[in-house]
A and B are shown apart, each in its own frame.
Chain A
Amino acid sequence: MRPACASRFLHRDAADARKAWRDRAGLASIPGSMATSPDHDPIPLLEARGLAFARNDEPVFGPLDFRLFAGEVVLIEGDNGAGKTTLLKVLSGLLEPGAGEIVLNGEPLTLARLSHQVALLGHLTGLKGDLTALENLRFATGLGGMRPGITPSLALGSVGLEGYEDVPVRQLSAGQRKRVALARLLLVPAALWLLDEPYANLDRGGIDLVNRLLDDHARRGGAALVTSHGAYAFTSGTPRRLPLRSAA
């Protein structure tokens, strides 16, 4: 059974969108990044082939085929219950896909061999309320490694939380906690960001911040999949969109 709503992104579409993204961001040439050679660089950062997931034999989404290249940000759009969060969990390797396969940088991703190239920001941020913002970030870098040229305090500063280093996370507001979680993304050396509703709980400045972080990440040669139920859209530019509808 292949539902008619299956989203398909052919390679040509992806290349066009990548070009559009780069043109918009003014990235005609990015030294040292995979995005510099679109014509003879067919290895996508992430590729899904016939990806589908079913919970208790109830299809949640799919089958999906798409490719995500370095330097790209793709917005996953769908109604509540369309399976956006589940898709991100499957792509991160937390959930095993029911059918199809995920290829990360040319290597198949399996549950047993999770890749350190993926950073997931979910509804649950994974921050400890009893620890300070800085302690939480130090733990994240200990666990996942640290990008060169950045420190936990620098990352906190760049998400607008300077001066909150030693405040326990439980005393921060929901939006500030989200910012700490965003600082974690800045620190860990993951090429692929999977962001589940990153705009939730954030004020206007926070929304701009997420957009800026995504721009910077794409410019560094990273890629991101962002879910949104449509309440917030990107304020700048038009990223490629991946519509997701319930397979049921």
Chain B
Amino acid sequence: MKPGTLGAACLAVIRRDLTLSWRRRGDALNPVLFALVVVTLFPFALGPEPNQLARIAAGIVFVAILIAGVLALDSMFRSDCDDGALEQLVLSPHPLPLLLACKILVHWTTTALPLIVAAPLLAEMLHLQHAVLPVLLAALALATPLLSLLGAVCVALTVGMRRSGMLLALLVLPLYVPVLIFAAGACDAAQAGLPYLAPLLWLGAALVLALVLAPLACAAALRISIT
């Protein structure tokens, strides 16, 4: 009688969550469609003037992707909490933070990655300068995992509640403000022809910090929530 290895456990979590989201692959499109609709609303509200839209394009894309991410957050632990799979995860002999990190990784892959893929389309719809697009994608690649990690802690805190949607948004959006400032700041600098590396590096540093600390906080919050 010996328990399985940690690697096998992480692999099992990743494989199961990927299979589950593949079985419901239609759901993966929802955040992308949402961001698309939000971005479409701005030309209607502000007028289709290309120069005016191009000036604020990066900011709009970031906010649209960020809010789409918030709406997708709730699904991170919801079904696991409802069917008891979370208890089995907590009871497993392996470190809970690592297993949760795997879950967060899969959640990012299935919700945020499609948004990054759709980002060039969103940027094009708002006439973003083509030279800024690589900076926008780099900022998104650093910012969205950070958002997922920060969001996971808040989801873990609210997963025990029945209707936590609005509360979750209220908890998580203030935490997203610094991420938004640095990500949009990098694009602003690139648009103005200024050096844009510093804000990106700050995002990278914050991501590394969150990568280490967020799963630990997430595990502690989940233990509180399921009791």
Contact = CB atoms under 8 A, between A and B. Distances in A.
Given A124-B87, A131-B19, A142 B8 contact: yes
A130 B89 contact: no
B137 to A, nearest CB: 32
A140 B88 contact: yes
A144 B227 contact: no
Task: Please name the 6 residue pairs, one residue from A and one from B, whose CB atoms are nearest each other, closest first.
Answer: A142-B12, A124-B84, A116-B93, A145-B4, A189-B1, A145-B3
B12 A114 contact: no
B12 A138 contact: yes
5 contacts: A94-B91, A114-B91, A122-B84, A142-B13, A144-B3
A144 B89 CA distance: 9
B11 interface: yes
Contact of A143 (B1, B9, B79): B9
Contact of B92 (A123, A129, A143, A147): A143
Contact of A116 (B3, B8, B227): B3
A193 B130 CA distance: 61
B88 A126 contact: yes
Interface in A91-143: 92-96, 111, 114-116, 118-120, 122-131, 135, 138-143
B2 A145 contact: yes
Nearest to A141: B4
A100 B20 CA distance: 41
A182 interface: no
Given A116-B93, A125-B84, A96 B20 contact: no
B83 A92 contact: no
Contacts of A114: 90-93
A214 interface: no
Interface in A140-165: 140-148
Tell me the dominant secondary structure on chain B's binding face: helix
B163 interface: no
Nearest to B82: A124
A144 B91 CA distance: 9
B85 interface: yes
A191 interface: yes
B78 interface: no
Given A122-B84, A124-B84, A135 B19 contact: yes
Contacts of A131: 16, 19-20, 23
B93 A94 contact: no
Given A126-B88, A142-B15, 12 more contacts: A94-B91, A114-B90, A114-B91, A127-B83, A130-B19, A130-B20, A139-B13, A142-B4, A145-B2, A148-B1, A189-B2, A189-B3
